[in-house]
Structure 1
């Protein structure tokens, strides 16, 4: 399992009875989590002193209950290392930390998935260590890019990033995160578009990328009503997106929060689509977050990585 254990501003304090107790900066939230099928004693004081609690409804969805929680606040993530402005290859990154705006919104979310930091560390090191003697930046494509965590991590490492998401609101939020992180002038293309149609157009244009990141939803709709269903669309979409890799591509990353799309499935697809034709190696694993109260790890999805 790959564990995002480098956070200072975020922490899973405890997990019990279908819910997780989290610290987001100065505020404590309780949110539902289907992975938490155990019921252990809720002895942590945060269970009673929470600032927000998302109550799931038996009819679907749910609603927030707030206790002295602001409408919006921010947390930061500092990259690993004693000298955070250098990666293991000694190449300086453009930023050593990222700042994210948070707010509770529909269906329990806050605008950030903290477990993804373990992937940010992985690919930002590859980006920062590439082409040390070249003025040409590494080109990264981030598909289903949400509020821009991966986009900002790649830009902070020195990449030129194309950020694509079907939601205009999410792209606007990502831009605000870039400004908050001091990356407002970074070479990022912000696009509101259907990811499949965008990839098809890029293939026709002959554009290529040195790294591709995708975080597809289990189910979603494009800006013109296009339907995305993970189980039906991920295999042909992976085959399509692989055509956009440059001849010297560094990596390909797929995230999955879809039940049934386990690490072994991601590994099989990526080996068939990428490693079989391009060489390199594929790894896939669960990703998780440490739980302070128990000392154990909360699973938070899966990721597949191809590296040259």
Structure 2
């Protein structure tokens, strides 16, 4: 994919370059001044509770613990399924009826919720109206990376924005971090707190906040708060308490600028992930981050990677991009 040619006038930092016309060759890009992974996306390799069984024709088939779910996957459009028989083993199938909602068809009796084990964490799952089950398995390598960074840094203050059901928060807390977990959806925060209880972390130093990410970050800045590490997984669109809306293309640049100030130039690490085009491309996401935090190119290590999940046949289903910024090893 073409790398974004970012410019500070755009809310995300830069605009995408125009595509070359027929018969014209695009100008050569200058070399990156940051690290991008040249290997295949990192995938979950040691999690027995999860498996991507197959994907194709716009859908994916996954095993979460004892249940197998069949649901839409835009990244699987145009791909051919490897194993047609395994699709008959699905426990439930999700069909989308509108842009963000749909319904599940249970193909066998399914508990209202169930749990899976991811390393030291126990997470509760359930079938939701959005087609999600409560965990994004393509993030598993990022959770391990967060744990590693926290253990190497020692006790730190970490801000997790768009924290969803809490896997990143709990990975950090289990390693010894004091965490502020922010999500605009009260139901997600309630779910995350239950995951903390299931994981034996109910007494961990975690502040659970229901708020709009950008508004909360701005108030923290006014309060003079400082964070040693910042984790962000922004959606394309979100709506917070009081109807406040977050739109990736309009608000991410401002959010990165505010978070940079919350770090004060002495952060131990950042993690920025995105699943929405054009920032689902690792180079575009790295360019966006560097445009709003250029100091990392001088004082630390900045690495961008594609996220994805691997099928039994070794094919990779793309799952977005991640930027890891660290003072040590990314």
Range into which the TM-score falls when normalised by the shorter chain: 0.7 to 0.9
SS of the equivalent of 1:3 reads coil
Aligned 8 A contact 2:160 2:182 in 1: yes
Q: Verify: 1:280 aligned to 2:300, yes or no.
A: yes
Give the drift of 1:181.
Answer: 0.4
Moved more, 160-169 or 31-40: 31-40
Aligned counterparts of 2:44 and 2:293: Cα–Cα separation in 1: 26
Q: Match of 1:72?
A: 113
Is the CA contact 1:275–1:282 (under 8 Å) kept in the aligned structure 2? Answer: no
User: Over residues 244-284 of structure 1, what are the superposed CA-to-partner deviations in whole Å (9 max), with x where a residue is unaligned?
Assistant: 11553211111101121122122112223224367212111
Match of 2:314 in 1: 295
Cα deviation for residue 58 of structure 1 reads 7.3
Q: Are the equivalent residues in 2 in contact too, given 1:3–1:289 (CA < 8 A)?
A: yes
Structure 1: distance between partners of 2:215 and 2:315: 42
Quote the residue 2:289 is aligned against: 270
Distance 1:60 1:228 in 2: 16
- State the shift of 1:300 in Å: 0.7
Match of 1:127 in 2: 150
Q: Deviations over 1:120-174 (max 9, x none)?
A: 111210110124xxxxx21100001111010001001110100011111110100
Deviation at 1:42, TM superposition (A): 5.6
| Residues 57 and 81, structure 2, Cα contact 8 Å, conserved in 1 | no
Cα distance between partner residues in 2 of 1:269 and 1:175 = 32
Ranges in structure 1 where 5+ consecutive residues have no aligned partner: 79-96, 132-136
CA contact (8 A) 2:55 2:81 kept: no
Evaluate the alpha carbon distance shift between residue 201 and residue 39 of structure 1 in structure 2; reply closer, same or farther with a 3 A threshold: closer
Deviation at 1:44, TM superposition (A): 4.9
The whole-number CA distance in structure 1 between the counterparts of 2:237 and 2:310 is: 28
Query: Taking structure 1 as reference, are residues 45 and 212 closer, same or farther at Cα in structure 2, changes over 3 Å only?
Result: same
Calculate the TM-score normalised by the size of structure 2: 0.82
Aligned with 2:267: secondary structure? coil
1:43 correspondence with 2:83: yes
Q: How many residue pairs end up in the alignment?
A: 284
Give matches, 1:24-103, under 5 Å: 24-41=64-81, 43-57=83-97, 61-67=101-107, 68-78=109-119, 97-103=120-126
Change (3 A) 1:41 1:143: closer
- In 1, the alpha carbon distance for the partners of 2:84 and 2:48 equals 19
Unpaired stretches in structure 2, ≥5 consecutive residues: 1-40
Contact 1:213 1:254 survives alignment (8 Å): yes
Q: Which residue of 1 aligns with 2:160?
A: 142
**Which residue is equivalent to 1:258?**
276
Structure 1 residues 184-224: Cα deviation after superposition (integer angstroms, max 9, x where no partner): 11000001111111111111111111100011110011101
1:110 matched to 2:133: yes
Which residue, 56, 60, 73 being the options, matches 1:20?
Answer: 60
Larger RCO, structures 1/2 (Cα 8 Å, 6+ apart): 2
